Structure formats: C-alpha cells, structure tokens
Amino acid sequence: MREYLLTLCITAAVTYLLTGPVRKFAIVAGAMPEIRARDVHREPTPRLGGIAMFFGLCAGLLVAGHLTNLSAVFENSNEPRALLSGAALIWLIGVLDDKFEIDALLKLGGQMIAAGVMVMQGLTILWLPIPKVGTVALTQWQGTLLTVALVVITINAVNFVDGLDGLAAGMVCIAAAAFFMYAYRIWYSYGIEAAAPATLFSAILMGMCLGFLPHNMHPARIFMGDSGSMLIGLVLAAGAISVTGQVDPDNLFGGSERSTVHQMVPLYIPLLMPLTIIAIPAADLVLAIVRRTWRGQSPFAADRGHLHHRLLEIGHSHSRAVLIMYFWSALIAFGALAYSVNSASMWIVLGVVFLSAVGLILLLMPRFRPRAPRWAQSFVPPRYRRRAPATEPAAATPQPASQEQERTPVAAGVSGVNGATALGARSRLLDRRKAESSR
C-alpha cells in the first residue's frame, strides 16, 4: 500500500506543478477558444491541461517501475507499456483538437486506433466470467471488438461529462478510488496477481485527477480539454479491461461453479463494475445520442442538454451541480464496491436506497442551502455559514420644534436675500409689540 500511495502522491505532485506552466503555454499558443453558446463559463479560459496530466502519468509509471513490489508488474505483464502507448496516441490527438478543433469522426478514428494499439500489446479481454454460465472464452476478434468498444465508450462518456469546472476530474477520481479498492482487494485478499496492473492504473489515475483539480475547480483557471478528458477516459477503461479480461476464476479455484460464485463474488462484479464507475457519464452519453438523433442532428453535435446543464437550468448553482454529480457517482461506484464485498448484507441495499432518497430530495430542491454548525464555520465556504441577525439602527426620534422655530423662516430653511428680509421684518414686528405693551 505504501508504494501505491507514493506513486499516487508523485503523480499528483507532478501534475499539480506542471499545470501552472502549461496554462501559460496554452495562453501563448492561443489555445483559448471563444466562448460558445453551450459553454457555462463567462470568459475565455486556456485548455491543454491534458499535457500536465500526461506527464503525471509518465512520472507515475516511471516511479512505479523502480519500486520493489510494483516493478514486478512491469516484469510479468506488458500492460503498462500498452497503456503508455495508447495514452500517448490519444493524448496527441487531444492536443491537436484543443488547438485546431479537428473533426469528430477523425477523433473517433484516433480513439479506435489507440484502443487497437493496446490490444496488439496484450491489453485485451480474453474471457468473460458470466454468472450461472461460467467462464466464456472469447475469440481474438471478439476480444478485440469488445475491448475497442469499451475503450471508445468510456473515452466519449468522460468527454461528454466534461462540461463544468472540476466535474470530469472529480467524477473520474471517485471512480478510480472505488476501482482501486476493488482491484487491491482482489489482488491481496485473494492472491490474484492478474489484478496488479489495474490496481496500479487506478492509483496513477487518482493522482492525475487530484493534481489537476486545484487548478480546475470553480472558477477554473485552466481546462483539461480533450487532451485530458480522453486521456483519463482511456486510463479508466484500461484498468477495467485489465481486471475483466485477465482474471479467470475457474482456473484459480477448484470446486463447483456454485461455490465459486458464492466464494468469488468480486470476480463476477467486473461485468458490472466498469459500468457502475461510468454509470452517470454513460447515461449522459446515451441520452445525448438519442436526443440529437431524434432532432435529426449528428450524434457528435454539441448542445446544452447534458445532465449538468439541466441541473443549472432547474436552479442549482455551478458548485452545487458539481457536488450533486459527485454524490451520485460515489453512491453508484461505492455501492457496487460494498456489494462485491458482502452481497448477502441487506444493510447495504437499505443504505443505498436511503442515500438515493436523500439525493433525490437535494436534486429537487435547488433553492435549499444547508448551513454548517457553528463549530465548522471556519472550514466551509462563506455561502454555507450561518449569518448573524442584522441589527437595525435605532430610528432617530424627531425633536419637537418650538412655535418660534416653526414660525421662523430661517429654521424652515430659508436662506439668502429672502431669509435676511424676512428676519428684518420679524424683528421690527417684535419691537412694535414691545412699544405698545410699554404704553
């Protein structure tokens, strides 16, 4: 575990430190597109954040290759090299798109080529553990097509959800954390060494996202662009493919199929885990394709109908919409993880149902703003702090004016020549009254 944490921290540190210089480079290179109709930010923001994330990936793999235990992953498997090859290709395509806005079909072809490069180097699905059926071996063409399809779907799902500051990086980080715990448990609890590459990929992916998030949270100073979103989507898919296609429970454990299923529930969860970790982005992808096709548009035509756009339309703030997406991603990913640990526990199901109800309430109450307790006031943003009751200033009590002041033109605000004339007339009238009273 310490070597994984070291790899994660170095990846995050390299990504974080390089993002600042990359931002300056993006500004100089002109990778600051004009604000489009579907954008939610108000001023041009540089892209190319994927450059820092790619070098963070390289640093993580380089460090892991020189550690005592993790170096065995590079010796016993060619998957890390396959990942680096596919990541480099998809990263180059993303950089070109961030700068020159290449065609969507050209990007799709590049994604398929990157997935094919990984397949050629051994990162492919060899078999599928299907419950009540057993392990189904796939032919070379079946494995290749399934691997390419999973990579392309994951890349585009992550790319589609990258519409708010910090949304894609945070959701992928949550998915990578859940997948890391899942793969780590398979490797060390069950002694399945084939899960080691997926564990390493998940740790590096978490470092890439955590290092980039401080620069990308609202208001974002830099966007990851397609060079970043397609990169983290590919790394996420590589971990899922590594676990799904490389673990064969029938060859590792004896006994009947029923006992294997009950004993090795986590080995059958790979069929669902890759889908749960991208459940929200994948649902957004499917809805976008159906929506655009129904309107007679191209499935790759951009619009403002994504889930995060809908959250903004019903009244949620930018930060609140991102947190709601985080919540649902964590609920689905960690709910599947908890079920893989103990599928017979009813408390897990009840907990997921309860949290889903809480999520629906928060989703339907965009104006609700929780307040933190007084002891946590200094740890939360100002908008979640309790405001002190406003004290109204004491109203000034009017002073009763004397009759003489009311009758005096000067007291009434008369000034200048008219005021002086009135004052003289008033004084002559008083002198006359005194003379009459003395008589």
pLDDT at 435 over 80: no
Written as six digits, the tokens of 163 are 């519409």
pLDDT at 349 over 90: no
pLDDT at 302 over 90: no
State the pLDDT confidence band at 221, using cuts at 50, 70 and 90: confident
Please state, for a pLDDT cut of 70, what percent of the chain lies above it: 65
More confidently predicted of 202 and 392:
202
For residues 238 and 114, what is the distance between their CA atoms, to the nearest angstrom? Answer: 11
Model confidence over 64-95: pLDDT tens digits? 988 888 888 898 888 999 999 999 999 999 99
For residues 280 and 299, what is the distance between their CA atoms, to the nearest angstrom? Answer: 18
Amino acid at 123: L
Residue 152 has what pLDDT? 92
For all residues of the chain together, what is the average pLDDT? 76
State the pLDDT confidence band at 396, using cuts at 50, 70 and 90: very low
Residue with tokens 């708010």: 164
Residue 402 has what pLDDT? 43
Instruction: Reduce the DSSP state of residue 137 to 3 states and report it.
Output: strand
Residue with tokens 């070379």: 140
Instruction: Reduce the DSSP state of residue 116 to 3 states and report it.
Output: helix
Amino acid at 29: A
For residues 423 and 25, what is the distance between their CA atoms, to the nearest angstrom? Answer: 78
